[in-house]
Structure 1
Amino acid sequence: MPVIFLLFAVIMSACGDKTATDTASSPSASAGASASVSNTGTATYESELGPVEVPAHPQRIVALTNAPNVLSLGGTLVGVDEWTNKNPLFKDKLNGVEVVSEDKLEKILEVDPDLIIADAGSKNIDKLKEIAPTVAYTWGKRDYLAQQIEIGKLLNKEKEAQAWVDDFKQRAQAIGQEIKAKIGKNATVSVFETDSKNFYVFGKAWARGTEILYQAMGLNMPEKVKADALGPGYYTLSPEMLSDYAGDYLVLSRSSEGDNSFMQTETWKKIPAVKNGHVIEIDTEASTYSDPTTLEYLLNIFKEGFLK
């Protein structure tokens, strides 16, 4: 499996984008995580690993996961994972922020965090707790919107997070209705990605805008995609299989720096959606999260791409 997919577990822990209706996803929007603010400048956050005493208003956050969610709420980062650091959407927001990892604890010590956000599967959770209060999240436990609200609770900004969620759902649904009116209520959409060696088709909770298209907008997924990608989240394809999984419209996630010669092949050109000019391209590097910044970016692309 290509390196990009070996990195998915790390990347997607930041996305928190499993859906509550997938059998394979089976998240639980959570029974009760919250933060109770005390008069000492701290708050008790009821995390999935138990209560954690955290700063009521953290000022030096190390986010090994969920960094985009933190940035969307104006959280102050002093350390971030390398994949968020490489994302073009966050470049300007991460000036001066150190790239850190759980495997180099001395680097985390150097930035002197007052809060650490980590993956619940981290092998160094106990060591991270010795450095600063550490809150861990399990990828897929909450859907992409519930995860944003959860970060809001942690940062004492739940109202802001909830307000964005409510507004985004309303706007995305309205745009979805416009799109259905234009392309037809039965039209199907597939989300493909290539890493220059393999192709992948995605279900409805694997970033790349899948949450917007299939959940928020309610657009249709081809039956073959439902059968093979909905449960596991994605499905690997050979070039010869692309037509079988292609919807009436395609969203193509690709890197501008990768080998895109496949787009000149007859195999690609013969796909009906390609022949009809029904392809919307997105930048892979900017599309692998499901936080508000990424979702707003992709929502605008989809609005223009489908309604132009």
Structure 2
Amino acid sequence: MPFPALPIRSSLARRLIAATVAAVIPLTAVACGSDSTDDASATRTYDSDFGPVEIPANPEDIQRIVSVDFYTPAALVDLGITPVGVVQSYFDDGADIPEHYRSEVTDSGATSIGEYYELDVEAVSTTDPDLILATDDFLPLDDPLRDKLESIAPIITFKARDGESWRTRSTELADILDREDALEPLVADYNSRRDEIAERYSDVLDNETFAVFVPTADEWGTYADTHFSTPILRDLGAHFREQRDDEINENGFPNWFSYEELGRLDNVDVIFTPVTDRAVLDKVEGNELWKRLPAVRNGLVFEYIPDSPTGSYGWALENLDALDDLLGTVSAAL
């Protein structure tokens, strides 16, 4: 049976107006670690999750920012800041990035610094950054490129594989850049919208178990509730199927299994799956073990939301809209 396609309605641009207006207010001069806010060389120590980093004491001195990861540019755009350098994914079609963020970055003239797995250090240098932002998955602490990048600008590293990382990264950036006023309306809008959707579909969220099923040509896996593609679904209160010990690795990524083990999914009521390759899904739908699964027999298999990795509050709002449509489709099918 084909997976129902879902209409996606985005109100992200409308919701960001308030944040954008607030963000044009000049940054407040703050000195932490210096007696004078007029000293451009003054620094303060930012205690990141991965150790202290010396950054400019005055947020006004952090004007040019490079992001070497996939998510952080969106968090910057939410704050009214466009990074001067981003990974190539922002210039490529098909990346799981909302179009609003892609166009905001690419239309600004930002520089591509290569992909996270093949960073162009020279391209980073040409942007003359005041600060480099990274996550521990896209630029591991033991990456040999770190020394070269740190010779260009200080690097602040955020967690990425934590189910709350999209939220904490946004709030920490707002603090670092003195842009809390830009973030506050997005936080309030997200919380209100989340609670509204959670209440509307409380019966579905409370009584059904969910899985995000990811098929490949020869294997399959499921995303856990702490995976970076599921945090907004989890934040709505969805109950995920109980995974066996061998189904998820220490980094929160799925382990992969042959299609002979599809019976593992007999403990899930509703299956979501990203539609990345129709031929693969056609093969799955023809599998006899798949057809026997309760969710399949009950017609409760649906296309998962696009752009499901969440990089910021604005991105999360867009995913809430998509999940509102998806849960409405599930509710109607139950």
TM-score of the superposed pair, with normalisation by structure 2: 0.69
1:93 is matched with which residue? 104
2:222 equivalent to 1:211: no
Amino acid at match of 1:115: L
Q: Are residues 234 and 127 of structure 1, via their aligned partners in 2, closer, same or farther at CA, if it must alter by over 3 Å? A: closer
Conserved 8 A contact 1:243-1:271: yes
Q: 1:97 to 1:114 in 2, by over 3 A?
A: same
How far apart, in 2, do the equivalents of 1:43 and 1:107 lie?
25
Separation in 2, partners of 1:184, 1:118: 34
Contact kept in structure 2, 1:119 and 1:136, CA below 8 Å: yes
Deviation readout 1:145-186 (Å, 9 max, x if unpaired): 1221112122221343354334423422331232222x3622
Question: In the alignment, what sits opposite 1:56?
Answer: 59
Local SS of the residue matching 1:255: coil
Match of residue 79 from structure 1: 85
Shift of 1:100: 0.9
Q: 1:133 aligns with which of 130, 151, 154?
A: 154
Residues 47, 136 of structure 1: 8 Å contact kept: no
Q: Which has the larger radius of gyration?
A: 2
Cα 1:103–1:213, aligned 2, differ >3 Å: closer, same or farther?
closer
Q: Check whether the contact 2:161–2:228 (CA below 8 A) recurs between aligned residues.
A: no
Tell me how far 1:75 sits from its aligned partner: 1.7
Query: Per the alignment, in what secondary structure is the counterpart of residue 77 of structure 1?
Result: coil
CA contact (8 A) 1:152 1:158 kept: yes
Partner amino acid, structure 2, of 1:306: L
Q: What is the SS of the residue equivalent to 1:185?
A: helix
Q: For residue 59 of structure 1, what is the amino acid of its counterpart?
A: Q
Counterpart of 2:128 in structure 1 is 112
Q: Distance in 1 between matches of 2:219 and 2:239?
A: 24
CA distance in 1, matches of 2:278, 2:178: 40
Determine if contact 1:195/1:255 at 8 Å carries over to the other structure: no
Against the structure 1 CA distance between its residues 233 and 119, is the aligned structure 2 distance closer, same or farther, given a 3 Å change threshold? closer
Task: Write the letter of the residue equivalent to 2:44.
Answer: T
Q: Residue 287 of structure 1 corresponds to which residue in structure 2?
A: 308
Assess if the C-alpha contact under 8 Å between 1:201 and 1:237 holds in 2: no
- Give the deviation of 1:250 after TM superposition: 1.6
The residue that corresponds to 2:16 in the other structure is: none
1:226 Cα deviation after fit: 8.0
Distance 2:132 2:46 in 1: 15
1:303 is the counterpart of 2:296: no
Specify the SS of the correspondent of 2:221: strand
Is the aligned partner of 1:178 residue 2:181? Answer: no
Q: Secondary structure at the match of 1:106?
A: helix
Whether contact under 8 Å (1:189, 1:219) holds in the other structure is yes
Question: How many pairs does the alignment contain?
Answer: 270
Closer/same/farther in 2, CA of residues 304 and 243 from structure 1, 3 Å limit: farther
Q: Distance in 1 between matches of 2:269 and 2:191?
A: 24
- 2:296 maps to a residue whose letter is V
Q: Does 1:276 align with 2:303?
A: no
Residues 14-46 of structure 1: CA distance to partner in whole angstroms, max 9, x if unpaired? Answer: xxxxxxxxxxxxxxxxxxxxx982323676351
Query: Measured at CA, do residues 103 and 223 of structure 1 come closer, stay the same or move farther in structure 2, by a change above 3 Å?
Result: closer
Letter in 1 for 2:225: K
Q: Match of 1:19? A: none
- 1:207-261 CA-to-partner distances (Å, cap 9, x unmatched) read 22x11222x1111122236884496523323323334236211221232577433
2:83 touches 2:110 (CA, 8 Å); kept in 1?
yes
Change (3 A) 1:257 1:110: farther
Q: Aligned to 2:213, what secondary structure does the other structure show? A: strand
Which runs of no fewer than 5 residues in structure 1 stay unpaired? 1-34
TM-score, normalization by structure 1: 0.74
Q: CA distance change for structure 1 residues 108 and 212 in 2, over 3 Å: closer, same or farther?
A: same
Q: Following superposition of structure 1 onto structure 2, how do residues 244-255 of structure 1 map, counting pairs within 5 Å? A: 244-245=264-265, 247-255=268-276
Which runs of structure 1 show a deviation greater than 6 angstroms over 4 or more consecutive aligned residues? none
Do the aligned residues in 1 keep the contact of 2:67 with 2:87 (CA within 8 Å)? yes
Q: 1:196 to 1:287 in 2, by over 3 A?
A: farther
Counterpart Cα distance in 1 of 2:102 and 2:147: 31
Aligned to 1:187: 208
- Indicate the SS of the match to 1:136: strand
Which amino acid is 2:154 matched to?
P
What is the aligned-residue identity percentage?
21
The answer to whether the Cα contact below 8 Å between 2:125 and 2:152 also exists between their aligned partners in 1 is yes
| Aligned mate of 1:241, from 261, 264, 273 | 261
